[in-house]
Amino acid sequence: MTEKVNLLNIEKIDERYSGLAEQSCCLSCGQAINLAEPREGEVCVDIGSGRGTDVIRMAQTVGPNGYAYGVDTSSGMLKKARSTAKKLGVDNVEFIDATFENIPLRDQCADLIISNCSINHADNKQAVWQQIYRILKGGGRFVVSDIYAIEPVPEEYRNDPEAVAECWAGAVTKDEYMKTLQYAGFGTIEILEESAPYDKGKVQVASFTIQGTRPGCCCG
């Protein structure tokens, strides 16, 4: 089933991030890539791969028997990521032009899914986490860095595509975040790191890195 996405938000996200593709500013909010520890031969996915740095690093770590996919909707980011991979001669990678709600990867294909400061932008976070669950193999794991809102973001900002693209208005509270994960099928969620609250845009947020595993056999 194809999930509907908020096209106004996607347009603003493309505009903002394509403009940042050639800059060197940090767009991350945690250590997902450092805490994930990809292993030789694994299939890995980065949800919101941006300039492609983490995907390329995972591809180099998993080696020729493994593979790394990046998923992003920003044309500028995809262009930058593909050209960097080519320049570095890394060919066990693919950067997929897709929204997080509709990821064209087959069921249970991934050993590891990472994401850094990206899922907060998605309009339908439940659909995104259902995609993550669907793509992961039984026993596969995710390590996700993201931001959450300390208090619910006021309605006037939640529906403002520019504020969503700026990486704060789409944030949900920690409680809502965890419920979404549980509803998708993830039982135990571990918080690996968490910041103190800080100001972002017009609200207060905090960053965290969480990890979980899709239940099921890991022998396939």
Ligand X SMILES: C[S@@+](CC[C@H](N)C(=O)[O-])C[C@H]1O[C@@H](n2cnc3c(N)ncnc32)[C@H](O)[C@@H]1O
Binding site residues, ligand X, CB under 6 A? 13, 17, 27-28, 48, 50, 72-74, 77, 99-100, 116-118, 121-122, 167
Minimum distance between the CB of residue 193 and ligand X, rounded to whole angstroms? 15
Minimum distance between the CB of residue 36 and ligand X, rounded to whole angstroms? 12
CB-CB contact of 165 with 121 (8 Å): yes
DSSP 117-154: S-GGG-S-HHHHHHHHHHHEEEEEEEEEEEEEESSPPP
Residue among 102 and 173 whose Cβ is closer to ligand X: 102
Q: What angle do CA 134, 162, 20 make, to 5 degrees?
A: 80
Minimum distance between the CB of residue 84 and ligand X, rounded to whole angstroms? 12
Other Cβ atoms less than 10 A from the Cβ of 97: the count is 12
Residue among 5 and 216 whose Cβ is closer to ligand X: 5
Residue among 143 and 215 whose Cβ is closer to ligand X: 143
Q: Which residue is nearest to ligand X (CB)?
A: 50
Minimum distance between the CB of residue 170 and ligand X, rounded to whole angstroms? 8
- What H or E segment, with its residue span, contains residue 10? helix 7-20
Residue 92: closest CA among 59, 70, 62, 61:
59
Minimum distance between the CB of residue 217 and ligand X, rounded to whole angstroms? 30
Residue among 119 and 136 whose Cβ is closer to ligand X: 119
Round to whole Å and give the CA distance between 112 and 175. 24
Helix (H/G/I), strand (E/B), else coil: 5? coil
Residue among 23 and 196 whose Cβ is closer to ligand X: 23
| Residues counted in the chain | 220
